[in-house]
Structure 1
């Protein structure tokens, strides 16, 4: 999902922010926060029934997280291409 699509969908999706706790504390859009390094440990906290958009700073880690979750059976999942950097530059 690109930044423009993300902006339009922001109120209709669940955010999964996989940045570090420090990045989260500096700025966040809300949603569920779990850092990428603990994602698989906390996977049971993420509902497979909800529509998720994974966000990170530049889109690289969110792409990795999306692939991991898809491999674990998540189907309603996307990521923000270009990350928050792209969204904030709109």
Structure 2
């Protein structure tokens, strides 16, 4: 999902923020926070029924998380291309 699309859809999606706790504390947009390194251990906390957009700082880790969740059977997910960095630059 592009940053422009993300901005337009922000109030209609469920955010899955996979940044570190420190990054989350510094700035967050809300949503469900689980750092990438604990994602697989907490996967049962993420509903497969909801539409998720995975966010991170620059889009690299969210793409990794997207691929991991796809492999675990998640289909209603996307990630923010360019991450929060791209969103804030709009």
TM-score by length of 2: 1.00
Q: How far off its partner does 1:30 sit?
A: 0.1
Aligned residue-pair number: 90
SS state at 1:78 partner: strand
Please name the residue that 1:55 is paired with: 55
Q: How big is the alpha-carbon RMSD for the aligned residues of Structure 1 and Structure 2?
A: 0.2
Structure 2 gaps of 5+ residues are none
Deviations 1:42-80 (A, max 9, x none): 000000000000000000000000000000000000000
Q: How does 1:22-61 map to 2 (within 5 A)?
A: 22-61=22-61
Residues 1-38 of structure 1, C-alpha deviation per residue, up to 9 Å, x if partnerless? 00000000000000000000000000000000000000
**C-alpha distance in 1 between matches for 2:67 and 2:12:** 22
Structure having the larger proportion of residues in helix:
2
Question: What is the TM-score of this pair, normalised by structure 1?
Answer: 1.00
Shift >3 Å, 4+ stretches: none
What secondary structure, in the 3-state scheme, does the structure 1 residue paired with 2:5 have? helix
3-state DSSP class of the match of 1:74?
coil
